[in-house]
């Protein structure tokens, strides 16, 4: 639970780059769609890793690499949703504040990143949905 004294410091926007995006139908993605307002695409500096059924992000200041994702305006009382997402992401990820580039400029967002660097393939173009769709269609052919 987030103390009331700190709620004013929490960004009003959530940035998602993997299985929480609009294209997915898992419970967490559905809850984001139900409780938040989609405000557009976003970009953040970093590397996206293929961890199998989901991606992992390593955010950085490297200007040459980007992670593509989506921005959602959080509900006024975002504490229960954020606690749900913290539980969903588990011990592998940490929620922190970052700066994202979106259509109307740079904004502060909350997003989840890997706590520890893992040895996994880097998704060079930084778009999980496109990568997963292509990867999985190759498995079927």
**Each residue of 28-57: pLDDT tens digit?**
999 999 999 999 999 999 999 999 999 999
Model pLDDT for residues 65-112, shown as the tens digit of each residue: 999 999 999 998 899 999 999 999 999 999 999 999 988 789 999 999
Q: Is 24 helix (H, G, I), strand (E, B) or coil?
A: coil
Which residues are CB-neighbours of 46 under 8 A, at least 6 positions away? 57, 58, 59, 60, 62, 65, 66, 67, 113, 126
Residue for token pair 């592998």 = 92
Please check whether residue 13 is in contact with residue 72, taking contact to mean a CB–CB distance below 8 angstroms.
yes
Range scoring the smallest mean pLDDT among 74-83, 109-118, 130-139 = 130-139
pLDDT of residue 141: 58
- Cβ 114 vs Cβ 78: under 8 Å: no
- Which domains, and CATH codes, for the chain? 4-140 (3.10.490.10)
């Amino acid at each position: 639970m987030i103390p009331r004294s700190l709620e004013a410091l929490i960004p009003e926007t959530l940035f998602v780059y993997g299985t929480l995006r609009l294209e997915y139908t898992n419970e967490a993605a559905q809850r984001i769609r139900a409780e938040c307002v989609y405000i557009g695409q976003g970009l953040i500096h970093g590397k996206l890793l293929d961890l199998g059924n989901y991606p992992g992000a390593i955010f950085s200041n490297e200007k040459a690499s980007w992670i593509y994702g989506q921005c959602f305006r959080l509900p006024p009382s975002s504490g229960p949703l954020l606690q749900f997402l913290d539980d969903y992401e588990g011990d592998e990820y940490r929620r922190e504040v970052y700066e994202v580039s979106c259509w109307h400029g740079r904004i502060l967002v909350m997003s989840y990143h890997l706590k520890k660097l893992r040895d996994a393939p880097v998704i060079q173009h930084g778009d999980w949905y496109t990568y997963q769709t292509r990867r999985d269609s190759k498995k079927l052919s």
